């Protein structure tokens, strides 16, 4: 290297070093400046009450948004969030020096401010896609980003406070906002925002507030408009948004106005109602479908104008989606399923992140059965005029209205119109409502949607009948028998389905909701029945005005048959013949009417039902009762219901449920006014019973071309199990006693002897009889009593002593003081919820059940009055808890009735009640949730009916479930359940204690036996019958019967079935000196001669041996003495003596 080069290099090195030093100092200064600005920015952001002036804020933005700081990192994101918060805060100010909006009004700063905002929006999209909303910090950052995007994607005077009173300037700045946001309005960014929106609605807690969700939705809509989405793309995007759980619950008035202004809701309905969207609907999962239908219902309730214009399409769409939500499990748990609080048991796994939105989804769905929505739909749908295509031309024109949203919609709509007119479209030449009928789902299955796309057009009701006849060809064949007419001969001809009316459409919609949301069934029905003039009376009128079906052709009418006279009955039974699967939509009005009626009647008190006559008068109630009774009978007898399926017809179950509650109400307090109202005139009881017992094997001939019979014995057993009341009670009791006699003949005839101390009746009886086999208990049981001295009592048990043992034992175990049972104010007995104070209380209940059943088995009437709820459990039935609450807990019943009629304010929520009950035992109060999470669910106007039902069920059923279960086990061990099925609760009580009616003295005279010289012509006997008939009141006659037999009620079949038979004996001495009848005593009694004794005969009282149903009368000399002594004796309750 030469000298010159060295000199040159030595002179350059200092310059390079100096340049490096300068660059380093500049970088340090810049970083120091940035750090200082960042610190200042954070300090100003923390000062919540202050906001920097807009120029300083712009300076912050210019520095922070410089390209060299565009790193996606956590520290830089913190500064970006702070900048966004300050920008949002400044836009809320009306001061020119503070509001960032004033910079856009200045020619000096407008360009810098717009570039800064554009860079800020771009930087937001660099960060928003890398956030995790499960973290609180990221949730706050995203909320700030969304607020800025909402501010500058459109100039809203609500957000730009400075321009609130300056609309012309706002419209100019709207264009500037579109220009600033255009680079960000890309499909990729819109997709990113959609993901953020879905993530913001899911989680253990909702990550984003409703305000942020609302702002984000508006940003997406504006970006779609800025990006010039075409009609199909926009609708698809909007549908995707509606799949977000409870999205519309976050909408503000501005967002709802935006949806309506841009016709988004109407376009969405048309898009989803098109045939092209069927595949997309099919691909939806259950929860996506639930979210979509909830948002559509909420929008339909919020935008009534659009809903009214698109009513048929909206109803059809909601109906289809609700049908797709129906789960096979429903309220019953199948295998490998998860419980959804709205859908019941579902086969799809529930995402834990969706749990936060369940309450909001419920609120959305409840809009469908809210008062306003029900009234709106009722006004438009509850019409009896069939829907014709001519009435829909106006709606079709509305559907073709151009959207304000897209400029290119005109061309695409024209192309679609040409496509349909050319006949190439799937809906060409098909009226809109026929498309609706074709796609109207009727089967509660997720395969509905696929079936609708391939179903044939339903133009007339007769077409449906033709399809039903082909689909429902009978598979069972009958064997004719001439004896069939002796049982029942009534024809049920096939009835064609009429055209679908708006009423049918509305009822089908709510039926789908009831099937989709089994946990909300009572709430839905209560809402529909809240104003009975709104839906219920319209449905009743609709059912009454059904056109009479055409009579069956003469060649098809059976020679031995008669037609059903009731038009309603003949119509719907004919529908059932046409469609045994109950798939047709024409069943919906009847189904909904029955369900609403049941819900209302189940919570009516007697004052409302019998005095106020709400919601039906007596005549209407009788008509409804007659209809449901005959409908169930003919459906069973004609085998229109297939009980071999796991779940029989939902329609039949509903009608049968209403039949039961009306029948029980009538038994408790009659409203029918006719003795044989519930029997069927066309039925021959003797022939039916003969078939039930003997299985004669005769068959019924076919009742129609579409239905054939099976062996009559199977049908008879089903009828006797479901509707025994169609047979007169006396015939059923005779059958019951016959079945017991047959059973006695089949069991072991060995005799069991037990020894019982009178002071230890329960203990000794339980220890010796509790472990006996059923055959031994059903057989003969002899009892030897041990007196207080420990000696055997004299006498031989010939059934009488065992009867006394049963009476005394049952009297003690049913004594409320023992706390196994409690007594109502009407002296009705039911299990005590606090019976756990006894160590073996459940075994005792089983023993008591056996002993009471033994009394019934032997035909012994005992004076035990059980509460209907316990009797129903013995029969395997369940009465409605609210009905029984009036007797079991009058205080709670009064409080729930007050809640039902609460009118102190507009909302029951003011009472601060939750779905919990408080149980007290030995001073300790326990809180029990009526439903899962009930502590956090408040009672309001919408769910108060559900609360009333659940509270009544808890008090009447759940609290005594274990005790009732063991009592029933003991009772049914002696008497078979199929025998018990012959009776209802009131009739079972009559079996136990006899019927409470005036005594039939003529019947008692026919079945009396006389001893000790008494005979029917004896003067004392004549006096006795005259006193009973003329001097005693009905109450005293019952006391007399109780004095003699220990039971105040006569046997149901009369005194001929009293065991042992009633007898009267003439006595000469007191009971302790009585040695029985002798020849002398019989002669003296016959001749009316009294034996000389220390105690005058007229001073003695009548006595009775209740174990033998024996009345012991002294040979009184005067009728007045007999009247006085007998009246004294029966009122003294001294009948429990043993001779």
Write out the catalytic residue numbers: 1107
Least Cα distance to 829 among 840, 838, 837, 820 occurs for 820
Tokens of 1033: 């009141």
Contacts of 330 (CB under 8 A, 6+ apart): 344, 345, 515, 518
Q: Which residues pair with 1064 in a beta bridge?
A: 1010, 1111
Q: Do 527 and 369 touch, CB atoms closer than 8 A?
A: yes
Alpha helix positions (H), 160-285: 167-181, 187-200, 210-226, 231-242, 253-261, 264-273, 278-283
* Main-chain dihedrals φ then ψ at residue 813, nearest 5 degrees: -70, -30
Q: Which residues pair with 784 in a beta bridge?
A: 755
Q: Do 310 and 269 touch, CB atoms closer than 8 A?
A: yes
Distance CA 751, CA 221 (A): 89
Contacts of 727 (CB under 8 A, 6+ apart): 679, 683, 685, 688, 689, 720
Instruction: Tell whether the torsion through CA atoms of 354, 359, 360 and 363 is positive or negative.
Output: positive
Residues counted in the chain: 1139
Distance CA 676, CA 8 (A): 131
DSSP per-residue letters across 267-317: HHHHHHHSGGGHHHHHH--HHHHHHHHHHHHHHHHH-HHHHHHTHHHHHHH
Distance CA 218, CA 170 (A): 18
Angle at alpha carbon of residue 133, lines to 129 and 139, rounded to 5°: 100
Distance CA 920, CA 927 (A): 9
Q: Which residue has the tokens 């006899």?
A: 994
180: DSSP letter: H
Distance CA 260, CA 238 (A): 13
Distance CA 28, CA 33 (A): 8
Distance CA 833, CA 810 (A): 19
Alpha helix positions (H), 924-1067: 944-956, 961-974, 977-980, 985-993, 1001-1006, 1019-1026, 1034-1045
């Amino acid at each position: 290297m030469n000298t010159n080069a060295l000199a040159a290099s030595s002179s350059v090195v200092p310059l390079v070093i100096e340049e490096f030093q300068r660059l380093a100092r500049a970088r340090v200064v810049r970083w120091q400046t940035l750090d200082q600005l960042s610190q200042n920015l954070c300090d100003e952001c923390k000062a919540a009450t202050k906001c920097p002036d807009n120029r300083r804020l712009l300076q912050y933005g210019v520095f922070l948004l410089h390209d060299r700081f565009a790193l996606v990192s956590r520290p830089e994101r913190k500064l970006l969030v702070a900048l966004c918060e300050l920008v949002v805060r400044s836009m809320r100010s009306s001061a020119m020096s503070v509001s960032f909006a004033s910079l856009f009004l200045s020619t000096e700063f407008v360009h810098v401010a717009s570039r800064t905002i554009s860079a800020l929006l771009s930087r937001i999209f660099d960060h928003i896609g890398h956030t995790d909303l499960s973290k609180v910090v990221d949730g706050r950052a995203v909320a700030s980003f969304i607020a800025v995007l909402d501010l500058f994607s459109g100039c809203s005077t609500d957000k730009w406070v400075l321009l609130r009173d300056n609309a012309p300037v706002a419209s100019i700045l709207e264009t500037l906002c579109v220009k600033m946001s255009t680079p960000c309005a890309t499909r990729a960014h819109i997709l990113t925002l959609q993901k953020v929106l879905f993530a913001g609605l899911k989680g253990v807690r909702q990550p984003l507030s409703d305000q942020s969700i609302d702002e984000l939705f508006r940003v997406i809509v504006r970006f779609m408009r800025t990006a010039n989405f075409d009609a199909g793309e926009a609708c698809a995007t909007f549908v995707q948004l509606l799949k977000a759980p409870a999205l519309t619950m976050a909408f503000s008035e501005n967002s709802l106005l935006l949806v309506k202004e841009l016709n988004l809701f109407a376009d969405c309905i048309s898009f989803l109602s098109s045939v092209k969207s069927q595949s997309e609907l099919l691909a939806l999962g259950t929860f996506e479908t639930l979210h979509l239908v909830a948002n559509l219902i909420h929008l339909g309730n919020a935008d009534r104008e659009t809903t009214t214009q698109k009513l048929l399409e909206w109803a059809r769409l909601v109906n289809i989606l609700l049908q797709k939500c129906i789960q096979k499990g429903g309220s019953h748990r199948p295998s490998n399923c998860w419980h959804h609080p709205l859908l019941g048991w579902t086969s799809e796994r529930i995402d834990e992140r969706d749990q936060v939105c369940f309450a909001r989804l419920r609120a959305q769905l409840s809009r469908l059965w809210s008062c306003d929505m029900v009234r709106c739909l009722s006004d438009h749908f509850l019409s009896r005029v069939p829907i014709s295509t001519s009435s829909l031309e106006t709606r079709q024109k509305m559907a073709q209205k151009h959207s304000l949203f897209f400029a290119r919609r005109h061309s695409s709509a024209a192309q679609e119109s040409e496509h349909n007119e050319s006949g190439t479209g799937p809906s060409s030449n098909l009226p809109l409502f026929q498309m609706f009928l074709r796609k109207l789902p009727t089967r509660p299955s997720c395969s509905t949607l696929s079936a609708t796309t391939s179903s044939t057009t339903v133009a007339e009701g007769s077409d449906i009948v033709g399809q039903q006849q082909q689909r429902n060809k009978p598979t069972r064949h009958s064997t004719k028998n001439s004896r069939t007419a002796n049982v029942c001969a009534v024809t049920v001809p096939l009835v064609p389905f009429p055209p679908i009316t708006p009423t049918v459409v509305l009822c089908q919609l709510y039926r789908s909701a009831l099937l989709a949301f089994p946990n909300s069934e009572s709430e839905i029905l209560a809402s529909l029945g809240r104003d009975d003039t709104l839906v219920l009376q319209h449905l009743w009128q609709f059912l009454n005005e059904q056109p009479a079906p055409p009579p069956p052709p003469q060649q098809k009418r059976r020679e031995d048959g008669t037609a059903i006279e009731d038009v309603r009955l003949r119509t719907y039974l004919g529908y059932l013949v046409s469609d045994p699967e109950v798939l047709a939509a024409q069943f919906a009005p009847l189904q909904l009417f029955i369900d609403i009626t049941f819900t209302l009647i189940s919570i009516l008190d007697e004052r409302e039902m019998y005095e106020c006559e709400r919601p039906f008068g007596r005549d209407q109630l009788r008509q409804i009762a007659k209809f449901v009774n005959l409908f169930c009978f003919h459906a069973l007898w004609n085998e229109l219901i297939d009980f071999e399926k796991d779940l029989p017809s939902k329609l039949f179950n509903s009608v049968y449920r209403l039949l039961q509650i009306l029948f029980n109400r009538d038994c408790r307090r009659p409203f029918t006014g006719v003795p044989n109202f519930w029997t069927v005139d066309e039925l021959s009881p003797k022939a039916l019973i003969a078939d039930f017992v003997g299985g004669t094997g005769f068959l019924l001939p076919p009742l129609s071309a579409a239905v054939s019979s099976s062996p009559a014995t199977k049908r008879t057993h089903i009828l006797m199990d479901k509707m025994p009341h169609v047979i007169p009670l006396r015939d059923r009791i005779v059958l019951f006693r016959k079945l017991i006699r047959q059973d006695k003949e089949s069991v072991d005839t060995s005799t069991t002897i037990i020894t019982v101390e009178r002071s230890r009746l329960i203990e000794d009886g339980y220890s010796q009889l509790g472990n006996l086999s059923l055959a031994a208990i059903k057989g003969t049981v002899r009892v030897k009593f041990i007196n207080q001295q420990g000696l055997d009592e004299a006498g031989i048990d010939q059934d009488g002593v065992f009867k006394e043992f049963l009476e005394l034992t049952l009297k003690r175990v049913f004594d409320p003081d023992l706390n196994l049972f409690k007594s109502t104010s009407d002296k009705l007995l039911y299990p005590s919820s606090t019976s756990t104070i006894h160590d073996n209380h459940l075994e005792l209940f089983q023993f008591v059940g056996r002993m009471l059943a033994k009394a019934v088995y032997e035909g012994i009437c005992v004076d035990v009055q059980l509460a209907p709820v316990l009797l129903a459990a013995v029969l395997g039935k369940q009465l409605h808890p609210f009905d029984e609450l009036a007797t079991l807990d009058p205080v709670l019943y009064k409080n729930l009735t007050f809640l039902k009629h609460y009118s102190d304010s507009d909302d029951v929520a003011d009472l601060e009640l939750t779905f919990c009950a408080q149980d007290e035992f030995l001073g300790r109060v326990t809180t029990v949730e009526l439903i899962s999470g009930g502590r956090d669910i408040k009672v309001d106007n919408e769910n108060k009916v559900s609360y009333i039902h659940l509270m009544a069920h808890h008090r009447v059923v759940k609290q005594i479930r274990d005790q009732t279960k063991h009592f029933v086990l003991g009772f049914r061990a002696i008497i078979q359940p199929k025998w018990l099925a012959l009776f209802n609760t009131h009739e079972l009580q009559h079996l136990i204690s006899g019927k409470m009616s005036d005594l039939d003295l003529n019947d008692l005279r026919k079945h009396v036996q006389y001893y000790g010289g008494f005979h029917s012509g004896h003067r004392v006997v004549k006096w006795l019958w005259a006193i009973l008939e003329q001097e005693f009141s009905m109450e005293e006659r019952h006391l007399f019967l109780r004095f003699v037999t220990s039971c105040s009620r006569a046997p149901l079949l009369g005194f001929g079935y009293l065991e042992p038979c009633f007898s009267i004996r003439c006595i000469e001495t007191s009971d302790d000196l009585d040695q029985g009848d002798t020849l002398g005593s019989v002669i003296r009694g016959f001749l009316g001669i009294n034996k000389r004794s220390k105690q005058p005969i007229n001073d003695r009282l009548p006595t009775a041996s209740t174990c033998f149903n024996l009345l012991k009368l002294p040979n009184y000399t005067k009728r007045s003495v007999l009247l006085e002594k007998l009246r004294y004796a029966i009122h003294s309750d001294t009948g429990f003596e043993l001779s």
